[in-house]
Amino acid sequence: MLKSAVVTLLLICLGAGTISPAWSRNNSKAPAEINLRVQTTADLQKQFSAYGYNEYLPLKTYQIPPLYLERLPRDWPAGTDDTLRSRLFIQILPPLALRLNQKLTAERLEIEKLNQSFAEQQKLSAAQNKRLEKLAEEYDTFTRLQGKARQEYLLAELTLKVDNIPPSLLIAAAAIATDWGTSRAARQGNALYKEYVWNEKTGLIPEDRAPGENYRIKTYPNLYASMTDFAAKINSHLNFAGFRSQRNALRRNRSSLDGRSMAHNFIFDTHLQNYAGLLDYVVTFYDLGVLDKSSLADRVEKQPVAGNKDTKNSNNDKNCNKSVIGFLQKNKLLCNLRLKNIGKLT
């Protein structure tokens, strides 16, 4: 009932011409994507607003604008309150997750073509085998087999490993690992998932690292690199074998990949109790499942300047936006979830 009411209210606004996602239009002059660099949270909000990206829930078109933030603002989290921080954090990550899945989809199509060629000819060409070996190396897939048996094994393993990851899980996992981007690793090292490296001279030294230990928190040039690295772990590490098996079963049954139903197999090396339950809670509470059905818009363009609107429509915009926000706040859909307080959910 609550979701229906929200959708109805937003559709009324859309019908009145008050919510205009400019990034969903097919404008050949608009850029295909934009990499964002901002200094402050206020700058980030202005940039999102300028491109019509004011909410992370793509209720009308299921399209997300390709706006890729390179790193969190310097005043994060001081420049936000709890509610704004969680909302903005969720807005930042969907474009990155969908961009990642585009890459995985392209690689999966490559593997499907290699499988088809192998099935028809019982072998791969030299160029095809070179590409197969490269993908196997990227996804930590090894065997001592040679010749036809080797190609057959690598193709079977990569079919299991190379596939999309529900954006809802990537976003929820990042929120938990960084406490909505407030962790030192996220702010200083673009680390969304707190991956560790050993015997390395680069990376952040954890403040609570015991004397004699030599591990560090892995750092990245940007947020997307961190997400890509975590995805490689999901698609190759033994801890996520159950997740990959479930994903493969869903593919065979032609079922969609739903983050909430797959959370119980998302085994991450974390100190939190009931991690799968916590993932499920975050995905459900913030309605992140809608992002699993979404895709990137083809292009992104700036919204018309507010002064170009007629007064009547401008007033309608303000009244409708106030109604939507007030409704959501009243029903606690925008309230913040402090993860550290629910880390022991059962």
> Among 176-180, 275-279, 318-322, which stretch is predicted with the lowest mean pLDDT?
318-322
β-pairing, 67-69 vs 34-36, is parallel
Helix (H) or strand (E) holding 294, with range, is none
pLDDT of residue 146: 95
The packing angle between helices 241-252 and 147-161, to 10°, is 90
Contact between residue 89 and residue 96 where contact means Cβ atoms under 8 Å apart: no
Amino acid at 298: D
Residue 58 has a pLDDT of 58
* Each residue's pLDDT tens digit, 15-39: 333 333 434 444 445 577 899 999 9
Q: Is 179 exposed, middle or buried (0-12, 13-18, 19+ CB in 10 A)?
A: middle
DSSP symbols for 317-339: HHHHHHHHHHHHHHTTSS----G
Question: Rounded CA gap, 287 and 290, in Å?
Answer: 6
Q: Sketch the domain layout of the chain as residue ranges.
A: 2-181+225-341
The pLDDT, as a whole number, for residue 329 is: 42
What does the pLDDT look like over 120-168, one tens digit per residue?
999 999 999 999 999 999 999 999 999 999 999 999 999 999 999 999 9
Asked if 69 and 41 count as a contact pair (C-beta separation under 8 A), the reply is no
Q: What one-character-per-residue DSSP string does 214-266 give?
A: -EEE---SSHHHHHHHHHHHHTT-GGGHHHHHHHHHHHHTT----HHHHGGG-
pLDDT digits (tens, 9 = 90+) for 89-98: 999 999 999 9
Q: Are 296 and 284 in contact (CB under 8 A)?
A: no
Average pLDDT, the chain: 81
Provide, for the chain, the percentages of residues in helix, strand and coil under a 3-state DSSP scheme, each rounded to the nearest 5: 55, 5, 40
Largest separation between any pair of C-alpha atoms in the chain? 73
